[in-house]
Amino acid sequence: MSRYDYDLFTLGAGSGGVSGSRYAASKGARVAICEDSRVGGTCVIRGCVPKKLFMYASQFSDAFGDAAGYGWTVPEASFDMATLQAAKSKETARLEGIYRTMLGNSGVALVEGRGRVIDAHTVEVAGKAYTAERILVATGGKPAAPAIPGIELAMTSNEILDLAERPARLLVLGAGYIAVEFAGIFRGFGSAVTVAFRGDAPLRGFDEDLRRRLATEMTNRGITLAAGFAPASIEKAGGEFIVRGADGSELRADAVLNALGRVPNSAGLGLEEAGVRIDAKTGAVVVDAFSRTSVPGIFAVGDVTNRIALTPVAIAEARAFVDTEFGGAARHIDHALVASAVFSQPPIGSIGLSEQAAKAKGFDVTVFESDFRPMKNTISGRNERSYMKLVVDRASDKVLGLHMIGVDAGELVQGFAVAVTMGATKADFDRTIAVHPTAGEEFVLMRTPRKD
């Protein structure tokens, strides 16, 4: 009989924690998981799922506008935030119930409360100690709170999903995933939206052609881009917020969203006291390729490790951890090729190296691209365009990167990600018969390299 209460004790019942715990239980392990908030974590409760429901809701304004070109007469539409909130809350509650049921059916014990690591084999929750042969930290991330006076007056991605009313003027600070997604959402709801950021274009780190095109499309939708703006302070005066920039400029709004990044949720868990190494700059739990921390017996996966902060990555890392520790098959995740989607409007999908990153790595690249107006937009009169790009290694013909901005970009890139992950060449794309008429066919019909 084991000298521990459990074979595995997991901190955090989000996507990575739940997936890893259930998978370990399926291998015969005795597993417990603790959570101090709602089961389902950021993605299900206050992230991917509710955000995408909001995105769907915001797109009806486009649909109503496009309908006339196709012969439909649509009465003047109005939007009610309370109705959407009620529907969103009902759906997240349903999903939380499913997650709780899945844990129960898997034989995973759910311990309500915040866990604190005492040592390599002990976790304390609500004053009670639980012992385990292995501890898995899967506590995710949280919105960053930069040292800006008044930053506490701004909403984060948590609070904006619970707004009771649509703000007439929304100021978004930042230009990453969260910033551009909520900018598009609330513009679709009818808010006047300004996005203020330090750089010269949104989505730092993405391919430059996608960044420029997204900036153009956001502007065409009526979103104001305040590039080069470094927030220095936030204050509330009467019914409005005033955000002052480092250069003395001012931006005013009825609501402010702090979308200035996220940080690993590692503080207050007793990790450093237990000897777990934490990156001093980022707050991330430092792990090796197999998600092992500096303390034998303690592991970490997902956003708390700050490798790639995406839900599917957390799940993959958790399952690889279980295979290694409980399945007798040591394996780890290759983070070099991970597809991603940004649900901006229009959305972005991407996998592999950007043109700039490929060149920085020393590749001699050939670039293929297609820039077109989607068929649906021709009759509706919408001017929004789609853009697709392949970055190809000239020496091997291997597709190093595949990028798209336009309708259904995420769906399309998910499919093509299989080919890129398998090491497809441009010749493989060329010999693939197109499906017509679709947007995706453009990826296999590009024949002429871009002339630089």
Position 370 in a domain: yes
Helix (H/G/I), strand (E/B), else coil: 129: strand
Is 335 noted as a catalytic residue in this protein?
no
Position 339 in a domain: no
pLDDT at 1: 60
Domain boundary among 203, 225, 260: 260
Q: Are residues 27 and 95 in the same domain?
A: yes
SS (H, E, C) 309-326: CCHHHHHHHHHHHHHHHH
CATH code of residue 437: 3.30.390.30
Domain boundary among 235, 260, 285: 260
Position 161 in a domain: yes
Torsion from C-alpha of 161, 164, 167, 170, nearest 10 degrees: -20
**Secondary structure letter of residue 200 according to DSSP:** S
Helix (H/G/I), strand (E/B), else coil: 167: coil
pLDDT at 2: 75
Domain boundary among 242, 260, 278: 260
Q: Are residues 268 and 255 in the same domain?
A: no
Q: Are residues 184 and 134 in the same domain?
A: no
Position 331 in a domain: no
Domain that includes residue 63, residue range: 6-143+263-326
Q: Are residues 297 and 362 in the same domain?
A: no
Position 451 in a domain: no
pTM of model > 0.85: yes
Position 227 in a domain: yes
In the chain, how many domains are there?
3
Q: Compute the distance between CA of residue 192 and CA of residue 202 in angstroms, rounded to an integer.
A: 18
pLDDT at 84: 97
Q: Give the HSE-up count for residue 27: Cα atoms under 13 Å, Cβ half-sphere.
A: 21
Catalytic residue among 121, 332, 335, 436: 436
Q: Are residues 256 and 269 in the same domain?
A: no
Q: Which residues are annotated as a binding site for NAD(+)?
A: 174-181, 261
Q: Are residues 209 and 357 in the same domain?
A: no
Which segments of the chain have a pLDDT < 70?
Answer: 1
CATH code of residue 209: 3.50.50.60
Q: Are residues 243 and 379 in the same domain?
A: no
Position 450 in a domain: no
Position 182 in a domain: yes
